Structure 1
Amino acid sequence: MASSFIYINDYGFWARDGFVEAMQLCLVNEIENQKLDSIDWINDYKIELALQSLPLIYGGMSMTLENFLTTNERKAQIVKLIDIIIEKIDLTDNYITGANLHELRKRAMTMLSETGNLNFKSQKELDETVNDSGWNKSDQIADVKDRYQHAFKLLKNLINDEMKTTASSPIDYWNY
């Protein structure tokens, strides 16, 4: 599986695209759960994350952090969402599962369709786009939920300016 460099201000970390898509989908979901999408920039960020979750370029996925996390207040808001997600991963057995990520992708694609950001010719085309991720066939994800949780911790450290690795740094941040 391809990996993408997730960064802000030239610092970041490499993550497999499956982790990146899970981070995008979980953040979209949590923005909706917390009813934060009435805030213009967060709603725009939610839509962009949903669009980015379609891995059109493998190894080129993005969290678009630099475009949206332009103030300390915005960063703090997203870190709060990440904290909620980390806790859900820790306390809930069915949060990081193939079935749940499949449902989160379905919701994200439906939201993109409803907002006119992505047009599907039919329900069948929407279903095919949802199924392209393969989440519905991923039965073993719950066994490695700690890795997904670690991905969110890396994202939190990056946003909090606690990570100073670059694209050429050794990839030892996955050793936990």
Structure 2
Amino acid sequence: MASSFIEIKDIGFWARDGFVEAMQLCLIDEIENQNLDKIEWISEFKSELALQSLPLVYGGMSMELEEFLTNDERKSQIIQLIDFIINKIDSTDNYITGNNLHELRKKAMIILSKNGNLEFNNQKEFDKAVNDSRWNEANGIADVKDRYLHSFKLLKLLINGEMKTTASSPENYWNYK
């Protein structure tokens, strides 16, 4: 599986695209759960995350952090969302599962369809776009939910400016145990 560099101003971390997509989908879901998409920039961020969640370029996925987290207030709002997500991952067994991520991908496809970013001629095309992620076939995700949890912790460190690694740094940030 390909990896993408998640960054702000050349500082960041490498993450497998499956983790990146999960981060995007969970953020989209939490934005909707808290009705924050009424805020213009968050609505635009949510739409961009939905578009980026389509792995059109393997190894080239983006969280669009530099584009949207342009001040401390915005960073703080996203950190709050990440904290909610971390709590959900940590406290439940059914949040980070293939079935739930499949449903979150479906939400992202609906957003893209409503925004006119993707057009589906029929339900079969829509279902194919949703199923292309293969989340619904991923049975072992719950067994490695600690890695998904860790990816959000890394994202939080990055946004808070507490990370110092670059694309050429050793990937020892995944050695968390």
Which TM-score band (shorter chain)?
over 0.9
- TM (norm. structure 1) is 0.99
Q: Which amino acid aligns with 2:140?
A: Q
The CA distance in 2 between the partners of 1:115 and 1:124, in whole Å, is: 19
Q: Which runs of 4+ in 1 moved over 4 A?
A: none
Give the structure-2-normalised TM-score. 0.98
- Percent of aligned positions that are identical: 74
Q: Deviations over 1:71-113 (max 9, x none)?
A: 0000000000000000000001000000000000001101211
Q: Which residue of 2 aligns with 1:8?
A: 8
1:114 Cα deviation from its structure 2 partner = 1.6
Partner of 1:64: 64
Deviation of residue 162 (structure 1)?
0.2
| Partner Cα separation in structure 2 for residue 38 and residue 139 of structure 1 | 35
Match of 1:33?
33
For 2:93, the equivalent position in structure 1 comes to 93
- Identify the residue that residue 108 of structure 2 maps to in structure 1: 108
Q: Show structure 2 runs of 5+ residues with no match.
A: none
CA distance in 2, matches of 1:146, 1:6: 19
Q: Which residue of 2 aligns with 1:160?
A: 160
Aligned positions, number: 176
Write the distance in 2 (CA, Å) between the matches of 1:41 and 1:95.
26
SS of 1:60 mapped into structure 2: coil
Amino acid in structure 2 at the alignment position of 1:23:
M
1:123-138 equivalences in 2 (<5 Å): 123-138=123-138
**In structure 2, distance between residues paired with 1:25 and 1:143:** 19
Q: Which secondary structure state, in structure 1, belongs to the residue aligned with residue 174 of structure 2?
A: coil
* Aligned-partner Cα distance in 1 for 2:151–2:48: 20
Question: SS where residue 173 of structure 1 aligns?
Answer: helix
Aligned match of 1:50: 50
